[in-house]
Amino acid sequence: MQLSDENASMSSSYDFRDAAAEMSGARRCGHNHESLKGTVSFLSLFFITVVALSIWAICFKPTPAQAVPSFSQQTGQPCSSCHVGAYGPQLTAFGRAFKLGGYADGNGEQHFPPLSLMLESSFTHTNASQHPEAAPGFGPNDNFATDQISLFYAGRIAPSFGAFIQTTYDGIGNVFTWDNTDVRYAHRGSLFGDDFTYGVTVNNNPTVQDLWNSTPAWGFPYAASGLAPSPAAASLLDGGLSQQVMGAGIYGMWNDLVYLEFTGYEQLARDTQSALGVGGVHGSDAFGGVIPYWRLALQHDFGDHYVEIGTLGLNARRYPGGDASAGADNITDTAVDANYQWTGDPDNLVSAHAILINENMNLGASRALSSTNPSDNLETFRTDLSYSYKNTYTPSVQYFRTWGSSDAALWGTANGSPNSQGFVAELAYVPFGKPDSFIPWFNGRLALQYVAYTEFDGTTAHASDNNTIYLNLWLSTDLFAGYSP
C-alpha cells in the first residue's frame, strides 16, 4: 500500500522520488564514516528485530491474507487493490478513491494504531567516479547505502479523518527528518444530483496530496539514488518546497469527473526547519507570505481505458539568500499533466504519465543582489510508460528533459545553461502484496534502474559520465501485524 519517494507510495515515499533525490543533497552533513556505519547498523538491527517480532505474531496468532502495511490492515484489501505492481506509489482507481476519502475507509473492524515501518537500501554505480566522494562517509563510486528508514502513521484517526505521516532517518545525510505529511478530513455527499466528495487537507509538500502519479511528489522514478549526480536546475513546483512549508486547503471531486483544489502554503521558520531536519541553513532562500497552489483535473473511464488531464501550479515571492533588502523575486509555476491506464486484463496493466512544467521568474531582487538576468524561464517535461504483469514484474521507461534561459549566476552550471535530458529504464519485482500472498503483513520491492544522460547541465560532452546503475530494495511491515484490539 502507499507509503514514501514515492516515492512510494502514497515514495515515494515512501517518499519515493523525493526521498533520495531531494533529501540527501540538501541534508548531508559532515559526520565521520564510523559514526554513520554505527548508526546504520543499529537501525538496521532494529528493523530486523521488528520483522522477527512480526513473524512471531503471525506464527502464534494467524490472520487472513491481507496486504501491507497499515493501509491494507485497515481495509482488508491486498496492496494490489490500491497499487499498480502491488507496491506504491502508483495508484489504481481503488487507491485514488481511498486517498480522496481521507485515508479513512476500512473493513468495519477495530485495529491497533496504523503504524508501519519501512527500510530502503541500495547500491549505486556511476560511469565516472565522483571526486572527492559521492557524499560524506561514502566512496567516489560503487556505494552501498541504507537510503532511509521510515516510521509511518498511515490510516484512520477517526471516521472521515485520516493521515499519512512519515518520519525518516536519512542514511545518506545521517539525519532524522520530518518527511511527507498529509492529514485529511473528507465527506461524501451529493451536488446537483451527483456524487460529491469534498474535504480539507493539511500537508507539507505541494503535490503530496495529489491523486495522480504524473505530479512531482509521487512521479516516476519512485526511487532515485542520493549518491549519483543529478541536474542542477529544477522548478519550485518540482520538489523545491518539500517539507519546508505547511499548507491547508480544500478539495472536491464531483461526479467522479471533475477535481478541484486550492491550498495555501507558508514557509516554516528557519529554526523550525532545522529542528525538523529539512533545511533552515543560513543563506538559503526564504519565501514571504502565502504561496497559493491550485489543481484542476478531469478524469473518465472509457470501458477498460482510464484517462486524466489536468493543470496545477503555484506562485511564490522569494527572497534570494534570505535577503529582503532588494525586494522579492516573483516565481510562477504552471503545469499540465496527463495519466492513462488500461485495466482490461487483471494480469496485465498498462500505465502512462506525462507532465510539462513551465516556470517564469521575475528576478528583480536577484538582479539587484547579483548578476542574474532580469527574468528567466525553465521548462521541465517527463513522460513514462509502465507495464505490470500479475502485479509482480513491472518494467518501466521514462524520457525526461529540462531546458530554459542561460544564466550563469542562477543555475550554477559551468556554461550557465540549465539544459539536461535523458532516459530512465527500470525493472521492478514485487513477490508479495497479492490476494494469494503467503506473507500477509510484509511486502518488498526490488528494482534495477539505469539512468542515461544525453545532456547534463548544459553540455553533451561527458554527459554519459553521470549515467547510473541503481539497485534498490524496499521492505515494509505493519508493526501490529496479526493483532486486533
Domain ranges (residues) in the chain: 18-478
Q: 144-159: per-residue pLDDT in tens?
A: 999 999 999 988 999 9
Looking at residues 227-240, what average pLDDT do you find? 96
Q: 258-271: per-residue pLDDT in tens?
A: 999 999 999 999 99
Distances (CA, A) of 463 to 55, 107, 195, 229, 327: 47, 51, 51, 11, 37
- Structural fold of domain 18-478: Porin (2.40.160)
Q: pLDDT category, 43, cuts 50, 70, 90? A: very low
Q: Is the pLDDT of residue 224 over 70?
A: yes
pTM of the model: 0.85
Q: pLDDT category, 436, cuts 50, 70, 90? A: confident
The cell numbers describing 71, all together, are 493501509
pLDDT of residue 442: 79
- Let me know if 108 is exposed, middle or buried by CB neighbors in 10 A (0-12, 13-18, 19+): exposed
pLDDT of residue 88: 79
Contact status, residue 274 vs residue 267, Cβ threshold 8 Å: no
**Average pLDDT, rounded, for the chain:** 85
Q: pLDDT category, 87, cuts 50, 70, 90? A: confident
Tell me how far apart the alpha carbons of residues 14 and 443 are, in angstroms, rounded to a whole number: 13
Strands 161-170 and 329-345: unpaired
Tell me how far apart the alpha carbons of residues 189 and 168 are, in angstroms, rounded to a whole number: 36
Q: Is the pLDDT of residue 231 over 70?
A: yes
Looking at residues 290-319, what average pLDDT do you find? 97
Q: pLDDT category, 25, cuts 50, 70, 90? A: very low
Which of 74-83, 264-273, 391-400, 401-410 is predicted with the least confidence, judged by mean pLDDT? 74-83
Determine what percent of the chain is predicted with pLDDT higher than 90.
69
pLDDT of residue 263: 98
pLDDT of residue 113: 79
pLDDT of residue 286: 95
Tell me how far apart the alpha carbons of residues 83 and 474 are, in angstroms, rounded to a whole number: 15
Q: 198-214: per-residue pLDDT in tens?
A: 999 999 999 999 999 99
Tell me how far apart the alpha carbons of residues 295 and 313 are, in angstroms, rounded to a whole number: 7
